Amino acid sequence: MSTNETPTHTTSTAQNASNEEANGQCLCGAVSFTCSSPSPGVGACHCSTCQGWGGGPLLAVDCGSDIAFQGAGHISIYASSQWAERAFCQVCGSHLFYRLKHDGKHIVPVGLFRDGPAFHLDHQIFIDEKPDYFSFANVTHNMTGAEVFAQVQSEQP
């Protein structure tokens, strides 16, 4: 993935958001969060940046911009591209979110949630960058990197 492209890291939209508040935290509990209405749809991002960040695909949900963090003093933010940043807990190293700079949308790893809607894997992006050594059994909507970028460009005014 080059630094002049803007991925969404999810095809879920606000209209797919649940009406259920969800809470989560990092491994050590130094950082916790509340999200007012996360999408129940889990996305798997197979881009090379996500693979480098976590050693595999990012399995995450769209929390939009309505998310509140406690323990913010323990959050470190890394500007991973021109359009997004990634955060982690300074204490335990847990990945906390991928955030788009232009609108503050937070994509949060699904494993951090302690409650919330019944999450389900429903889409995979950058499927063309997925390594051959694994496949998910779920039937999902799959998009290549080019398809993701085309969708983002078609949604911009």
Q: What is the pLDDT of residues 95-127, one digit of tens each?
A: 999 999 989 999 999 999 999 899 999 999 999
State how far the Cα of 43 lies from the Cα of 46, in Å rounded to an integer.
10
Give 98's Cβ-side CA count (13 Å radius).
27
Instruction: Count structural domains, the chain.
Output: 1
Structural domain harbouring 61: 14-155
Residue 38 reports pLDDT greater than 60: yes
pTM: 0.86
CATH of the domain at 30: 3.90.1590.10
By C-alpha distance, which of 142, 140, 114, 122 is closest to 35?
114
- Is 5 domain-assigned? no
Residue 148 DSSP symbol: H
- Is 129 domain-assigned? yes
State how far the Cα of 146 lies from the Cα of 125, in Å rounded to an integer.
10
Q: What is the CA radius of gyration of the chain?
A: 15
* Per-residue tokens: 9: 């890291």
- Is 50 domain-assigned? yes
Give phi and psi for 52, each to the nearest 5.
-70, -30
Contact between 88 and 10 (Cβ < 8 Å): no
AA identity, residue 8: T
- pLDDT digits over 50-79, tens only? 999 999 999 999 999 999 999 999 999 999
Instruction: Label residue 6 by pLDDT band (50, 70, 90).
Output: very low
Helix (H) or strand (E) holding 34: strand 32-35
